[in-house]
Copies of this chain bind each other. A is one copy, B any other.
Amino acid sequence: MLAEIITIGDEILIGQIVDTNSAFIASELNKIGISVFQITSVQDDRQHILKALEEASGRAQIVLMTGGLGPTKDDITKLTLCEYFDDTLVKDPEVLKNIEYLFRTYISTPISEVNRRQALVPSRAKVLPNAHGTAPGMWIEHKDRVYISLPGVPFEMKELMANHVLPGIAARFSRPYILHKTLMTYGLGESAIAERISLIENSLPPFIKLAYLPNLGKVRLRLTAKGQDKAILEKGIKEVADKLYATIGDIISGEEESGTLEAIVGKLLTSKQLTMATAESFTGGKIAEQITSVPGASAYFTGGIVAYATRTKKELLQVGEELIEKHSVVSAEVASAMAENVRRIMKADFGIATTGNAGPTKGDSDAPVGTVFIAIASEKGTVVESFSMGNHRVRIVQKGVHKALEMLQKEILKF
């Protein structure tokens, strides 16, 4: 069963916003066995939308659109749908009620005709009520195909997907299963991995695809199985995964489906009833931010210090003047001291510290841009590693955060 996604909006085509809706919709559709054949981003233009609708209808049975449902002049999706389906707009009383309710309850400005006009929908459309906004979702059946139009605001779109679109599609179509398993590796490049697993790759069962996804110096291996019999797919994926573990287990750091690194760390800390604290220099608070992005983090994250300035390292983290002078702020010794002190100050089981130079200038140390030190302190002692992470500021921080969480995970497993 194939679907296509059409995202509508000039803001996408001038690059003012990144289209995050498509990835969300695609992965949600995948979970219920719907493959997305193509994603197309088009302008707020009648002709362009009509053409995209026609082309998508020729390739897929489900056409999912986002955007162009606002109350203003540049929002023309509904009119264009009427033109495409030779339909007319009619006022939907339920939608009108919702709009009036939202204005009464949340919106300071008085409701206007323009707002009320958002209750107009194509007469043949089934309305998908939008609890969080004035633009309703729409479901239109036409020649064995389903056309779904959703607002472009991610948060409204997600709610409509979860409560209306996915259940609706699940009930409307019989679907195959699509299963993914993604093994995360480290230390080897794509081609080196490809050579080590060539035998496995050449003997994959026909219903399983293997893909390489390199990013930030790591390669993820994604297995995708597709078919009608879930048991067969699960068995097939497991068999291939087992072969991969047997062949390159030394470089597999985990499986993506088991969650993000911060979620994995969170689960580990919770299950072992351990706590952590952070002392961050070049990562600038990003480790704390990722840790606390996991609901329930307050159970194991006692707190963090962003010691960006050298003075803060001295005064708040009590890193000795002489230690800094002897080794410079970017050093294994200072990283270790930061980790040990924050662990003590925050009364945590683990202290995580980062110090380094993310550039573009050298800052408070002579260390070359890209040189970083990461330390993890616990009652079992302090481990510190140094890395050279290139000269790209954003990447240095990303890599640093990732590395720190990997090191922490390793340390937690010692408990």
- Interface 1/0 per residue, A15-32 and B, CB below 8 Å: 111111011111111100
Within 8 Å of chain B (Cβ to Cβ): is A370? no
Cβ–Cβ contact A13 & B40, under 8 A:
no
**A70 CB-CB contact with B under 8 Å:** yes
Which chain B residues border A392 with CB–CB below 8 Å?
155
Judge whether A339 is part of the interface by a CB distance below 8 angstroms: no
Q: Mark A174-198, 1 if CB is under 8 A from B, else 0.
A: 0000101010000111111011000
Oligomeric state, in copies: 2
Contacts of A30 in B (CB 8 A): 14-15
Which one, A77-85, A227-235, A356-364, is touching chain B?
A: A356-364
Whether, in the assembled complex, A347 has its beta carbon less than 8 Å from a beta carbon of chain B, the answer is: yes
Residues on B with C-beta less than 8 A from A289 are: 283-286, 288-289
Whether A41 touches B15, Cβ cut-off 8 Å, given contacts A303-B308, A307-B303, is: no
A292 at the interface (CB under 8 A from B): yes
A302 vs B315: C-alpha distance when bound (angstroms): 11
Q: Which of A108-116, A139-147, A319-327, A378-386 contacts B (4 or more CB under 8 A)?
A: A108-116
Residue A23 contacts which of B19, B280, B285 (CB distance < 8 angstroms)?
A: B19
Distance between A180 CB and nearest chain B CB, rounded to angstroms: 7
B306 and A305 contact, CB distance less than 8 A: yes
- List, in ascending order, chain B residues with CB within 8 A of A346's CB: 312, 316
**Distance (Å) between the CB of A392 and the closest chain B CB?**
6
Q: A11-B222, A284-B291 are in contact. Are A298 and B19 (CB under 8 A)?
A: no
Give chain B residues whose Cβ lies under 8 Å from the Cβ of A22.
12, 15, 18-19, 41
Q: Counting CB contacts under 8 A, is A48 at the interface?
A: yes
Known pairs A26-B15, A212-B72; A306 contacts B292 (CB<8 A): yes
